[in-house]
Structure 1
Amino acid sequence: MPRIDRVPAARAGLLARLCYRFSRRRYGAVLDPVAVTAHHPKLLLAAGLGELAVQRAARVLPASVRELAVYRTATRIGCSWCVDFGTMLQRDEGLDVERLREIEDHRTSPKFTELDRLVIEYADAMTDLPVRVTDEQVAELDRRLGHRGLVELTHMIAVENQRTRFNHALGLTAQGFTSGEACRAPTP
């Protein structure tokens, strides 16, 4: 249960109602982070525009790499809302969500490539406190992904850190987008 109430549609301003309509059309439900952020319309606008801009700009990496990094960040922090939503996004993109069950065993699981392992380790290093990213990690990912790919990967992990910490702090939990799939995926 959220630590602060969602803004109901009947009390929502014009911007929030537009966001609710967009959310329902795109995802089949009003996203809880949107309904909570509606308490602050200017931040709702900023967050919404930021999310749309990131979504349109992040096209260098293959979706499987980008979404794996985002998902791993959510599991590392332990945001069940983000795990649930992220699993749905991966499923809807036709990605292998079954492998997510083995993410804790990524070093040995045949479901993960060497690049996947590097991406997961990088997401872990960026998410851990203190941050423990090494020059070697950056150099290897830059070699494999190029500057644009590395910047995109780093940005996506940083953005997911922001999302998950916001959701976790405000008590937003799984919204049921994956009908239990996310519950089977590991979280710390």
Structure 2
Amino acid sequence: MPRVPGLATKDAGPVIRIGYWFAKRRFKVVPEPFSVLARHRKLFMAAARHELAAEKASRKLPANVRELAVYRVAQQLGCSWCVDFGTMLQKHEGLDVERLKHINDYLTSPTYTRQERLAVAYADAMTDTPVSATDEQLAELRAEFGDEGVIELTYQIGLENMRARTYSALDIRDQGFSSGDACRLPEADLRSAGA
């Protein structure tokens, strides 16, 4: 149970209830971070708008590169909720989640591409305290992904650092998103149906 309990639907005002309705429609359940954040209505709304806008804007990088870098941050910081949710997102992107078991060997594992290795190494450097990203690393990333790609990667890694640190501090734990079909995203259902 999180250190600050989530806000029950029955106790939520109309704005939060609408947010919960959208979350249930998309994820089949209200993600626990949403219900915890709902204790502060204005931050809940700000976070919801921000997450949707960041998701919509992040289209320069290949999904496998972006999602793997974000997953790595969650794994490095030990956020079980983020690892769980991130694994589900990768499943629904059609990515191979079995290889996540070998992410600690990303530099030598043949299951990772050069782009993915660069992104994971950058995620590690940005997650270090203090940040250990180098000029050489950024130059290599710029050559591979361009300026917009580097900005997107940096932003997404930074955003996941915020999420993972926040959820870990509040002791928000995995909800089983990555297991089976319990929490399938509607978009994934449409893709698999050929729509």
TM-score (norm 1): 0.94
Partner of 2:142: 142
Partner of 2:189: none
Residues of 2 paired with 1:84 and 1:111: CA distance? 21
Aligned partner of 2:57: which letter?
A: A
Structure 1: runs of 5+ lacking an equivalent: 181-188
Partner of 1:22: 22
Does residue 65 of structure 1 match 2:65? yes
1:78-137 deviations in whole A, cap 9, x for unaligned? 100000000001001111111111101111111001221111110000001011000000
Partner of 1:120: 120
Residues of 1 paired with 2:157 and 2:17: CA distance? 29
Partner of 2:85: 85
Residues of 2 paired with 1:59 and 1:97: CA distance? 21
Does residue 157 of structure 1 match 2:153? no
State the Cα distance separating 1:12 from its structure 2 match. Answer: 0.7
Partner of 1:7: 7
What is the number of equivalent residue pairs in this alignment?
A: 180
Partner of 2:44: 44
TM-score (norm 2): 0.91
State the Cα distance separating 1:23 from its structure 2 match. Answer: 0.8
SS class of match (1:115): helix
Aligned partner of 2:175: which letter?
A: Q
Residues of 2 paired with 1:15 and 1:90: CA distance? 30
Partner of 1:96: 96
